[in-house]
Structure 1
Amino acid sequence: MHIITAQFELVSPMFIAGYTNQNQDDYLTIRPTAVKGALRFWWRALVYPALRQQSANAQDALKKLHKAEAALFGSAASDNSNSGQSLVMLRIPENAQIKDTVKAAEDVSDKGAGLSKYSGCQYLLGMGLYNFKTKLQRAYLNVGTSFSLQLAFKPAVTPEQIAQVKQALLAFGLLGSLGSRARKGFGSVQLLAWTEDQQPLAVPLTKQDYKTAVAELFNQGQRLQELPPFTAFSAYAMADISLSDKTATAAINSVGEKQQRYRGYGEGSKGPHLVSGKPALQLFTDDHDNMLRILQQNAKPVQPRRLVFGIPHNVRFSDNKGSVSIELAQKNQTRRASPLFVHVHRFGQEYVAVQSLLAAEFFPDLAEVKYKGKAYPATAIDWSVITDYLTLPVYQGAQAQADGFTAREAIFKGSLA
């Protein structure tokens, strides 16, 4: 039986449920189903561009993709007698230990990562994981937690399928994350070593080797000259090493502070508006003013430009003016995950924040967006809102300015950059 083994390390705190998640302080573990789900995600992202090139249209390519995925990873139901059977068996021989779980109350202790102490981390954690009154809401697996995977392939697997899984596993180990807020920099995993039938495979250990390996993954999508119908590599993707710091917490905090400053309108009824104690840039005053008109005048909504960062998008006004909740109005679909991925990677004592944009069709056909419970037709997304955030050396607001990612190192420049 063909076997691939891989050793991983967590390079940022991971908010993930254990096998029994009865309370926030359970002993946390990494479940095979979570890893397999991540591998399937990266497999789809990598395989789709080639299938689209071989197909007359996107619909035909999607049918081929679903058929290939079911054949490799199994499916829930099918007319085929082999339905549900995967050609890849995944297990986790070495998992997180009890010592790796940090309880919510331990976050600011010597054992924890200290996420609660930093405004940028608080911002990226969001309301589900952080509360300003009660602080961190859940336990997490700490930086340095190690785990291993074993992938065993059944005899019916083809060499092409094995190669595809290897590429997905590599993408997972270079760009991937697990758990809540996985696209915000938390739960980042790093491939340390891997073997194929006990033969060592190459791992990019230096920053330059890492950039080369990631660029090769993105280059596979170059052939796709249209936005994919789901999150996948294409000519419209891009990736940067945005910044580096001495700890994962510091790197995530820096990303969070810059993103909050870039997106935020600020608070303050007296004097200048502030974002985390700094003058607000107010780069999106039109978003703010349009949402305020909904509250005060019951005006017809104008779709916020910042919606490109993901849905739901909740706009809260200070001075008790109220709030506007924005979500998709599709049946069984109110969310649209962010196309921006933040991943932390370690090179010795240096932790880098890698930000990737995997642009795709943002809305389903005939989509509607719901504002305070009332639906309106969705309009086109402005991708420059994210590309400016990633690439501008200075964010120039009307009353203030702030540095962008001035030390960014481009890995892959797509058509949107």
Structure 2
Amino acid sequence: MEKIEATFRVVTPMFMSGADQSKAELRLPSIKGALRFWWRALAWGRYGDLEKIREEEARLFGSTDEGQSKVLMRLTAAENLESFLGKQEAKKWGPNTWQGYVGYGLVDKKLRPTRDYIKPGFTFSLIISARDRRALEEMEAPLKALGLLGGLGGRSRKSWGSLTLMKIEGIKEWEPPKNEQELRKTLENLLQSQRKPGPYTGISNKTAFAIGKLYPDAAAAQRSLAQTYRDFLKALGGRGKTLREAFGLPRQLRMKGARYQNANERRASPVFLHIHQFPDGRAAPVVTLLPGAFLSRQPSPSGEWQTAQTFLNKV
């Protein structure tokens, strides 16, 4: 069997748990799920056909019809996870703090007053093995997307649990971008597509990303990005409140004289907040917009996707 080994660093506090939500743990099923999500997101730009995507996804990751996955995954860690565990107290995340705003639901004064998390700096490797070399090659792009745009655990789309892909070894060697220019070029290559937005969150010709200014460390970059996000959404007041739905649902919006029609709808945010850390330790906010069908009865959010694009321009 051939294999590739991808090494990741945790860049911002990661709230990943198993059955006991108060305890932090690095879970392989969660990592598999994240890679499957990014494979699917990239697949729209590649195939543009929902049935073909389902067939290829089942072939690669397994299904009841296709059998087990073509790829086998296992985790290794150079450090002891126990030494990288922290504890967050709900009382320190007030409703007016940036942490409480982008970390809503991670801790709760009544239901979950404290919660363990994995501290930034923890590194781990994911080893992927397969008999089919093509299957390994198909995993490279999702690995890059996860480590350049995404994260793991609770509120990962709001910058928590951001990961930086440090290297890929195996059938092909890959080194991370060393600066903003290299990162921009890497993302342009990864996210390019000529296809129109599809029926789900994925790569298309409307995909956009923004890289913010450079900060001395990841904590400063996350704080700045979260504050910008909070201030931008709070500024959408009055009739403009419905424009907030471009950043995901549900949202309980108090509207004068009318009931917000999407108050009980659910739609994961198509806007991904991420913190990327360069090899020298400095970090920059990265925000990605992946438009797709918004709701079954509403193709796009209020204001189309312009509100989200305006936010990207402020990063």
Output the TM-score relative to the length of structure 2: 0.88
Matched, 1:286 2:239: yes
Distance apart, 1:325 and its partner CA: 7.5
Deviations along 1:258-298, whole A, 9 cap, x unmatched?
2222221xxxxxxxxxxxxxxxxx4432145xxxxxxxxxx
User: Counterpart in 2 of 1:100?
Assistant: 84
2:247 corresponds to: 309
Aligned partner letter, 2:85: T
Partners in 1 of 2:198 and 2:303 — Cα distance? 14
Amino acid at match of 2:312: L
Give per-residue Cα distances to partners, 1:70-115, cap 9 Å, x unaligned: 011101x22xxxx33110001102276111111124997xxxxxx7
The residue number in structure 1 matching 2:61 is 73
Shift of the 35–326 alpha-carbon distance from structure 1 to 2, 3 Å rule, reads farther
SS state at 1:45 partner:
helix
Cα distance between partner residues in 1 of 2:217 and 2:96: 13
Give the structure 2 partner of residue 337 of structure 1.
268
Other-structure match for 1:35: 31
Task: State the alpha-carbon separation in 1 of the partners of residues 261 and 26 from structure 2.
Answer: 33
Residue 5 of structure 2 aligns to a residue whose secondary structure is strand
Shift of residue 237 of structure 1?
Answer: 0.7
Write the mapping of 1:14-163 to structure 2, written as runs, cut at 5 A: 14-18=14-18, 21-22=19-20, 24=22, 26=23, 28-52=24-48, 61-75=49-63, 77-78=64-65, 83-94=66-77, 97-105=81-89, 119-126=97-104, 128-131=105-108, 137-153=114-130, 155=131, 157=132, 159=134, 161-163=135-137
Change over 3 Å in CA distance of 1:117–1:355 after alignment to 2 = same
Q: Which residue of 1 aligns with 2:191?
A: 218
The offset of 1:158, in angstroms, is: 5.2
Matches within 5 A, 1:222-237: 223-224=194-195, 226-237=196-207
Distance 1:287 1:200, change over 3 A: closer
Partner of 1:177: 151
Deviation at 1:174, TM superposition (A): 1.2
CA contact (8 A) 1:328 1:336 kept: no
Separation in 1 of the partners of 2:46 and 2:21?
44
Residue 387 (structure 1) aligns with: 309
Amino acid paired to 2:13:
P
What does 1:182-331 correspond to in 2, within 5 Å? 182-197=156-171, 200-219=173-192, 221=193, 223-224=194-195, 226-264=196-234, 282-287=235-240, 304-315=242-253, 327=262
Partner SS for 1:185: coil
Identity of aligned pairs, percent?
A: 29
How far does residue 176 in structure 1 lie from its aligned partner after superposition? 1.7
Gaps of 5+ in 1: 53-60, 109-114, 265-281, 289-303, 369-377, 392-403, 406-417
Which protein shows a greater Rg? 1
Aligned to 2:141: 167
Render the CA deviation track for 1:178-235: whole Å, top value 9, x for unaligned.
Answer: 11101000111111122115x643332333222211111112x2x21x2211111111
The offset of 1:120, in angstroms, is: 1.7
Q: Secondary structure at the match of 1:103?
A: strand
1:179/1:118 CA distance change after superposition, 3 Å: same
Matches of 2:244 and 2:208, distance apart in 1: 19
Q: How far apart are the structure 2 equivalents of 1:116 and 1:247?
A: 24
Bigger strand fraction = 1
How far apart are the structure 2 equivalents of 1:356 and 1:342? 7
Against the structure 1 CA distance between its residues 193 and 30, is the aligned structure 2 distance closer, same or farther, given a 3 Å change threshold?
Answer: same
Q: Which amino acid aligns with 1:356?
A: T
Letter in 1 for 2:88: A
Secondary structure at the residue paired with 1:305?
A: helix
CA distance 1:380–1:200, change in 2 (3 Å): closer
Distance change >3 Å, CA 191–CA 12, structure 1 → 2 = same
Taking structure 1 as reference, are residues 136 and 262 closer, same or farther at Cα in structure 2, changes over 3 Å only? Answer: farther
C-alpha spacing 1:120/1:35, structure 2 compared with 1 (3 Å) = same
Q: CA–CA distance in 2 between the matches of 1:46 and 1:93?
A: 26
| CA distance 1:236–1:379, shift in 2 (3 Å) | closer
| Alpha-carbon distance between aligned partners in 1 of 2:251 and 2:114, rounded to the nearest angstrom | 21
Query: RCO (CA 8 Å, sep 6+): is it higher in 1 or 2?
Result: 2
Decide whether the 8 Å contact of 2:8 with 2:123 is kept in 1. yes
Distance 2:30 2:301 in 1: 34
AA partner of residue 185 (structure 2): T
Matches of 2:110 and 2:91, distance apart in 1: 15
Contact between 2:91 and 2:109, CA under 8 Å: does it hold in 1? no
